[in-house]
Amino acid sequence: MKPIVAIFMAAWLLSSSLTAAQELVGPVTHIRDGDTIEVSRVPIRLNGLNCDERGTRLGNQATAAMKKLVSGKRLNCRLNGEVTYDRRVGRCSLPDGQDIGALMIANGYCGRCDRYDPSGSYIAAQKKAGRYRGSFPSYCKPR
């Protein structure tokens, strides 16, 4: 039984497009909401931003905006090694190099989560959008 499990795991690792550098390149296979997508069936929680939950007015708008932005696209995602629930954590960019988190923030669909953007890479996007109208969970506050 152990050789079969080892073969299965090796095949899965080879097919997933994940490299040792925590990079995932592949097609968008599902959009869960404004800040969680699936690339090559791998769930990714986008790091450094927060969107209201699907089922709320702002959350539904963010989900629709994300669908419009990434559906049918191939993304390049840099994962940071963290996992939250069933999702890997990272940042993804469009084929032209634009960061999808920055675009979602700059267009007012999501807000910058200070705690998970310690380098401040999303500050300019938040300034462009103005104050986020949605709610922030307590974990977004800097420690």
Q: Which helix (H) or strand (E) holds 26?
A: strand 23-33
Q: 28 in a domain, yes or no?
A: yes
* Residue 141 included in any domain: no
> Would you mind telling me the total number of residues written for the chain in this entry?
143
Residue 6 pLDDT exceeds 60: no
Locate 6 and state its tokens. Answer: 């080892």
| Kind plus residue range of the DSSP H or E element containing 12 | helix 2-15
Single-letter amino acid, residue 66:
M
pLDDT at 2: 57
What pLDDT digit, counting tens, does each position of 95-117 carry? Answer: 999 999 999 999 999 999 998 99
* Contact (CB, 8 A) for 8 and 32: no
Q: Tell whether 11 is covered by a domain.
A: no
**Residue 116 domain-assigned?**
yes
Residue 58 clears pLDDT 90, i.e. is over it? yes
**Domain assignment of residue 98, yes or no:** yes
Do the Cβ atoms of 68 and 45 come closer than 8 Å? no
Q: Which domain holds residue 110?
A: 17-130
Task: Tell me the CATH number at 104.
Answer: 2.40.50.90
Q: How many domains does the chain have?
A: 1
